[in-house]
Every structure is written in structure tokens, then in C-alpha cells.
Amino acid sequence: MAEKLTKEQRSQELAPLLATGWALADDRDAIHKTFRFKNFVDAFGWMTRAAIWAEKWNHHPEWSNVYNRVEVTLTTHDANGLTELDMKLARKMDALT
């Protein structure tokens, strides 16, 4: 099981993600981001690429898609908060855009 990030890990790991548009959730220990694409096909293609990594790492996002917009929330339910898995998947999602 993944361990929640320590205070030191949180400050190191979150800073670069917050700079790329990720934000801390108000209501729980999670991060979220809205990704926008040119059209539905681009959004769905990105989701497919991200899903392959999520499955490979056995860490699945909470997300929804409306046309060219994908809303993503990352948290590790088993740890009841943010873990290195969330940071890793967030970085990968950013890299896939």
C-alpha cells in the first residue's frame, strides 16, 4: 500500500505541479486540474494514453470528459490522501499533453 506524502515530500512534489495548473482540493487531500484540448477526439485520445499509464501503475484517476475538457482529480483512496503515485500520474498526464 502507498504511504501518504510527508510534509517535506508534499512541499517538494507539489510546487512544480501547482506551477503547471494543478490545485489542491478544498474538501479533501487531493489535487485536481482541468485539461483543455482542441476537440473531443484530442481529449479522448489523451484520456486513452493516460489510461494506459494509470492501468500500468494500478492507480486510477477520478475524471470526467465533456467535449474538449477533461476534469481530473488525483488522490490515493487506500492511503486516504496524496501519495507518490498521485504525483507520478500528475507528471505523466502533464507530459502527455
pTM for the full predicted model: 0.94
The answer to whether position 81 is within a domain reads yes
Order the strands of the 23-24 sheet from edge to edge: 23-24, 31-36, 69-74, 62-66
Which pLDDT score is estimated for 67? 97
Tell me the mean pLDDT per 10 residues along the chain, length 97.
91 96 96 98 98 97 98 96 97 97
Distance CA 82, CA 77 (A): 9
Which pLDDT score is estimated for 43? 98
Parallel, antiparallel or unpaired: strands 62-66 and 23-24: unpaired
What is the total count of domains within the chain?
A: 1
User: First vs last Cα of the chain: how many Å apart?
Assistant: 29
Altogether, the residues listed in the chain come to a count of 97
User: Which domain, by its residues, includes 17?
Assistant: 7-95
Which pLDDT score is estimated for 2? 87
The answer to whether position 1 is within a domain reads no
Hey, what's the cell of 63?
A: 475524471
User: At 40, which CATH number?
Assistant: 3.30.1360.20
